[in-house]
Amino acid sequence: MAKKKQAPGGTPATVALTAAGVEFTTHPYEHDPRAASFGLEAAQALGLDPDTVFKTLFADLDGELVVGVVPVTGQLDLKALARALGGSKAVMARPADAERATGYVVGGISPVGQKKAHRTVVDETAILHERVYVSGGRRGFDLGLAPDDLVAVTGAVLAEIGR
């Protein structure tokens, strides 16, 4: 089977959103390798309200890799993530496992267009915004889209998982 060609500058995330018919905007910025927080760096570089910029984090939930998408201004509540997905115990996944499972590098992991779909929870605060921003699949590249579209395209559930 032939591999789908990406448009120049495209990522698996932009290809997936385009294929799903989701309207999105692209927001490249100059990534500073010394940045302490990829998400806060994106918010600052793009002049966005940090509450609208979300980070994609991987956890191991009872032996299964799952995704939590939370505002960059907070942290992922692992107990709340486990509850939202009906599991018992979640711990942060090793970065190498997240990279292998998604095809993306840490700091550029998008909740969209991963190598295989993972159960995903988006923090419920996303719906408070007209548009949210997530990694576009590489460092220095974010995508803006409606929260409802993010939930739909990832098959996510909405729950209070940020703190």
**Rounded-to-integer distance, Cα 37 and Cα 43, Å:** 10
Name the nearest CA neighbour of 72 among 126, 17, 148.
126
Sheet with strand 132-138: strands edge to edge: 25-28, 141-145, 132-138
- Average pLDDT of the residues of the chain: 90
pLDDT value of position 9: 55
Which of 95, 85, 45 shows the shortest CA–CA distance to 62? 85
Flag whether pLDDT at 4 surpasses 70: no
Counting residues of the chain whose pLDDT is more than 70, the rounded percentage is 94
The torsion angle over the Cα atoms of residues 131, 116, 67 and 100, rounded to 10 degrees, is -120
